[in-house]
């Protein structure tokens, strides 16, 4: 053995790097295994070019073995190997000078995640967990001799004759005291599964201290041909579902998925899944995109990779064009990540379009699950809105799913461009019935997002209006016959007095085929304002009680009764109670009663019943 010295300026980089990267030490294994995988890849290329020979049936593999007694962790490959010159050059000089550059440039950066690997710092990371490292390697080159290189991470090393008899490299890490966790097979398995589940060459894991049973096959860690690399045409639904469940540990099937296979403007392969969502999303269900670089796991916490509104998606993306060997903060600001995000958004809308066109029924089945996401996306991203607007569905109270144009097309008054909605089916049932009996479809709003989305549509579609069933009585509901003006005046006075609301607006309309005496309406604008105030928990700040308009149906027996009773002084109390009751019943379509209101209502009800 002879000794050598690395000609670098920084003498003490190891302690700095060790301390610096303390939080994600386990990345050293990813680096070592991906170097092994790179070395095999290089060898296979040479074989393809006829520059190296491979024995028939020779299988490329990477073996990781743990020996707790000896305190070693070995990573061995059947790759290209290195000659002595190459070890000196690539390991001792390139890898080390990378470490020096790293220290100089990055010492002030706070974000440590994933920074390793930068400047070829990959190899050097093994020193984070090792007292010293032995590298034993045999190059593919003819007449090459095995080389051994030993180093403790400082600038001195020893180099001499190695022991390997077959082409490839064995890296033996003599694990340091403070890194003993890496002598635990279970821990190593966990790290390998995280980073190396889909690496292209078979990885086995062996515990050297465990006695091997006869015929026992070594444990294989990875799946060398992950589904995303297969041609979408050759993948079955079951394969997609199984892959999803395996990778994301979800017991439920995904709703549907998108298999990405892009060559331009950058290379990207992957599968994006729409998971089944529950009504009330919680953080546990947030999606996750696992990013790979040539099948090596890089990260799954880069939220910029997805448009914000698609956070619930889960998937894998393999992108060899993305600069992985840099810090997370760098990646977040990198243009390629934004490009991926745009690409996913585009692919999602393409996919939805094609399901919509080719299988409307299927699309409708998904709609309840995905509508929230889509609407949110439309609000957040106008490009997405433009792409999706014709496939947005409105669910009617009868359970039909209609696009906006289908809805408007089905209305008698097409030019009005008004969509009638209910945001509380139970409460507003009287009004809904009235609309439906007159042939007007009512769509259901199921939460604040629908309100918000409607506003968005109103802004974008000239003349379009959303109106609640408690906001407006469309012409179709009334006969068009004008009520007698004097009668309206009289009724107005009676109701105002009876209710103690001298500013109440009273109207009269002959309802078409209705047995409802009165309907209370609140202008759409006031209703939205009240809803918003309620949403922010500020009900006390605004109550629209004085803004309701009551529309009476003069044909209704109860209204006729009120008109008759006004001449009889003895019926006055009864008449007032009747008016109050009619008002209150109409009010039920708008809101719940307070405790006092409810007590009054019930008491009055009994009194009226007594009068029968
Ligand atoms: P990078 O992988 O980005 O090139 P590393 O620091 O991880 O940087 O490795 C430095 C160099 O050492 C590699 O480029 C390669 O030439 C050499 N090397 C490392 N590990 C192996 C290996 N297992 N077999 C052959 N060469 C290796
Ligand atoms: Mg590397």
> Considering only CA atoms, which residue is closest to atom 11 of ligand 1?
90
Helix segments in 159-269, DSSP class H = 185-196, 237-248
pLDDT-derived band at 7, boundaries 50, 70, 90: low
- Rounded to 5°, angle at Cα 227 from 225 and 230: 80
- Percentage of the chain beyond pLDDT 70 is 89
Q: Which residues of 247-284 are buried (b: 16+ CB within 10 A; e: fewer)?
A: bbebeebbebbbbbeeeeeeebbbbbbbbebeeeeeee
Quick one: three-class SS letters along 418-476? Answer: EEEEECCCCCCHHHHHHHHHCCCCCEECCCHHHHHHHHHHHHHCCCCEEEECCCCCCHH
Give the Cα separation of 156 and 174 in Å (integer).
17
Which of 6, 17, 32, 35 is the pocket-test mutation for ligand 1 (most atoms within 8 Å of CB)? 35
Q: Cβ distance 17 to 124 under 8 Å? A: yes
pTM value is 0.77
Q: Which residues are annotated as a binding site for ATP?
A: 31, 35, 77, 82, 97-98, 169, 328
151, 157 contact by CB (below 8 A): yes
CA 121 to ligand 2 centroid distance, Å = 7
Question: How far, in Å, is the centroid of ligand 2 from the Cα of 150?
Answer: 18
Query: What CATH number does the domain located at 227-354 have?
Result: 3.30.230.80
The predicted structure's pLDDT at residue 114 = 47
Segment 35-79, tens digit of pLDDT: 999 999 999 989 988 999 998 889 999 999 999 999 999 999 999
Q: How far, in Å, are 245, 274, 351 from residue 252 at the CA level?
A: 8, 11, 21
Distance CA 429, CA 401 (A): 20
Same fold, 227-354 and 392-475: no
Dump pLDDT digits (tens) for 245-296: 999 988 889 999 999 998 887 889 999 999 887 655 555 557 788 988 889 8
- CATH number of the domain at 480-610, please? 1.20.120.790
Region 294-314: what's the mean pLDDT? 84
Backbone angles phi, psi at 505, to 5 degrees: -85, 120
Whose Cα sits closest to atom 19 in ligand 1? 35
Residue 176's pLDDT is what?
Answer: 95
Residues in CB range of 146: below 8 A, 6 or more apart:
136, 137, 138, 161, 162, 163, 164, 165
Tell whether the torsion through CA atoms of 368, 372, 375 and 378 is positive or negative. Answer: negative
Pick the CATH number of 392-475 from 3.20.20.80, 3.40.50.11260, 2.40.50.840, 3.30.750.24: 3.40.50.11260
Instruction: For residue 93, report the phi and psi dihedrals to the nearest 5 degrees.
Output: -100, -55
- Ligand 1 near 36 CB (within 6 A): yes
* 26 ligand 1 Cβ < 6 A: no
pLDDT at 109 over 70: no
How many C-beta neighbours within 10 Å does residue 123 have? 22
Q: pLDDT-derived band of residue 93, with 50, 70 and 90 as boundaries?
A: confident
Burial (0-12, 13-18, 19+ Cβ within 10 Å), 358: exposed
d(C-alpha 210, C-alpha 118), whole Å: 37
Ligand 1 pocket mutation, candidates 45, 64, 98, 123, criterion most atoms within 8 A of CB: 123
Q: Which of 38, 119, 147 to mutate to test the pocket of ligand 1 (most atoms within 8 A of CB)?
A: 38
Which ligand is closest in space to the CA of residue 36? Answer: 1
pLDDT tens sequence across 556-580: 999 999 999 999 999 999 999 999 9
User: Tokens 């010492």 label which residue?
Assistant: 107
Residue tagged 């670089």 (tokens): 293
Domain 2-220 has CATH 3.30.565.10: yes
pLDDT at site 518: 95
- Residues in a beta bridge with 90: none
Confidence (pLDDT) at 117: 46
Using DSSP's 3-state secondary structure scheme, residue 77 falls into strand
DSSP state, 22? G
Separation of 333 CA from ligand 1 center, angstroms?
27
Average pLDDT of every residue of the chain: 88
**Cβ–ligand 1 contact at 52 (below 6 Å):** no
Domain borders along the chain are 2-220, 227-354, 392-475, 480-610
| Distant-in-sequence, close-in-space partners of 399: CB < 8 Å, separation ≥ 6 | none
- Look at residue 138 and tell me whether its pLDDT is greater than 50: yes
State how far the alpha carbon of 568 is from the alpha carbons of 486, 607, 608, in Å: 19, 19, 17
> Could you give phi then psi for residue 593, rounded to 5 degrees?
-85, 150
Residue 155: what pLDDT? 79
Q: 95 CB under 6 A from ligand 1? A: yes
50, 140 Cβ separation under 8 angstroms: no
> Residue 542: its pLDDT value, please?
79
pLDDT-wise least confident of 68-77, 469-478, 578-587, 592-601: 469-478
pLDDT (tens digit per residue) in 401-453? 999 999 999 888 777 899 999 999 999 999 999 999 989 999 999 888 899 99
Q: State the distance from the centre of ligand 2 to the C-alpha of 197, rounded, in angstroms.
A: 17
Ligand 1, residue 75: give the atom nearest the CA. Answer: 23
pLDDT of 74 reads: 98
28 CA to centre of ligand 1 in angstroms: 13
Neighbours of ion ligand 2 (CB under 5 A): 35, 122
Q: Is the distance from the beta carbon of residue 472 to the nearest atom of ligand 1 less than 6 Å?
A: no
Q: How far does the centroid of ligand 2 lie from the alpha carbon of residue 371, in Å?
A: 44
Would you call 25 helix, strand, or coil by DSSP?
A: coil
- Minimum CA distance residue for ligand 1 atom 20: 35
Q: What is the pLDDT of residues 169-214, one digit of tens each?
A: 999 999 999 999 999 999 999 999 999 999 999 999 999 999 888 8
């Amino acid at each position: 053995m002879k000794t050598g010295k690395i000609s670098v300026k920084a003498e003490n980089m190891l302690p700095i790097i060790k301390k610096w990267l303390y939080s994600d030490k386990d990345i050293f294994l990813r680096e070592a295994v991906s170097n092994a995988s790179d070395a095999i890849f290089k060898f296979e290329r040479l074989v393809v070019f006829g520059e190296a020979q491979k024995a028939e049936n020779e299988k490329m593999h990477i073996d990781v073995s743990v020996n707790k007694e000896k305190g070693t962790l070995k990573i061995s490959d059947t790759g290209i190997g290195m000659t002595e010159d190459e070890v000196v050059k690539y390991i001792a000089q390139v890898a080390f000078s990378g470490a020096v550059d790293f220290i100089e440039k990055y010492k002030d950066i706070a974000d440590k995640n994933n920074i390793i690997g930068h400047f070829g710092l990959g190899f050097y990371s093994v020193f984070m967990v090792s007292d010293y490292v032995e590298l034993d390697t045999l190059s593919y080159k003819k007449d090459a001799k095995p080389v051994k290189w030993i180093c403790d991470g400082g600038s001195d090393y020893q180099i001499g004759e190695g022991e390997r008899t077959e082409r490839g490299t064995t890296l033996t890490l003599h694990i340091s005291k403070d890194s003993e966790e890496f002598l635990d097979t279970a821990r190593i398995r966990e790290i390998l599964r995280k980073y190396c589940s889909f690496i292209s060459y078979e990885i086995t894991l062996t515990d050297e201290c465990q006695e091997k049973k006869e015929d026992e096959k070594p444990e294989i860690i990875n799946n060398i041909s992950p589904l995303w690399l297969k041609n979408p045409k050759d993948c079955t639904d079951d394969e997609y579902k199984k892959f999803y469940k395996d990778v994301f540990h979800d017991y439920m099937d995904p709703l549907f998925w998108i298999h990405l296979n892009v060559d331009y403007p950058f290379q990207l392969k992957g599968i994006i899944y729409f998971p089944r969502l529950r009504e009330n999303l919680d953080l546990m269900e947030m999606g996750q995109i696992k990013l790979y670089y040539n099948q090596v796991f890089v990260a799954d916490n880069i939220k910029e990779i997805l448009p914000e509104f698609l956070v619930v998606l889960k998937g894998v993306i393999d992108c060899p064009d993305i600069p992985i060997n840099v810090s997370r903060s760098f990646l977040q600001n990198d243009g390629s990540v934004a490009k991926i995000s745009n690409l996913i958004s585009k692919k999602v809308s393409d996919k939805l379009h094609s399901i919509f066109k080719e299988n409307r029924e299927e699309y409708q089945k998904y709609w309840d699950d995905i509508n929230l996401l889509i609407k949110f996306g439309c609000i957040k991203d106008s490009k997405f809105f433009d792409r999706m607007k014709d496939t947005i569905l409105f669910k009617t109270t009868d359970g039909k799913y209609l696009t906006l144009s289908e809805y408007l097309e089905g209305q008698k008054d097409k030019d009005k461009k008004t969509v009638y909605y209910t945001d509380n089916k139970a409460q507003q049932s009287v009004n809904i019935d009235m609309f439906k009996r007159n042939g007007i479809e009512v769509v259901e709003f199921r939460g604040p997002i629908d309100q918000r989305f409607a506003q968005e549509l109103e802004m974008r579609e000239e003349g379009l209006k959303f109106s609640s069933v408690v906001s407006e009585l469309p012409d179709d509901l009334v006969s068009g016959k004008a009520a007698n003006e004097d009668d309206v005046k009289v009724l107005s006075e009676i109701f105002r007095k009876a209710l103690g609301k001298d500013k109440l607006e009273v109207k009269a309309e002959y309802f078409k085929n209705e047995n409802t005496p009165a309907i209370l309406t609140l202008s759409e604008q006031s209703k939205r304002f009240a809803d918003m105030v309620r949403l922010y928990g500020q009900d006390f700040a605004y109550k629209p009680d004085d803004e309701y308009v009551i529309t009476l149906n003069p044909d209704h027996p109860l209204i006729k009764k009120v008109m008759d009773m006004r001449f009889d002084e003895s019926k006055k109390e009864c008449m007032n109670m009747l008016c109050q009751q009619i008002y209150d019943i109409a009010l039920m379509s708008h809101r719940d009663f307070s405790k006092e209101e409810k007590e009054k209502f019930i008491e009055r009800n009994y009194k009226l019943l007594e009068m029968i």
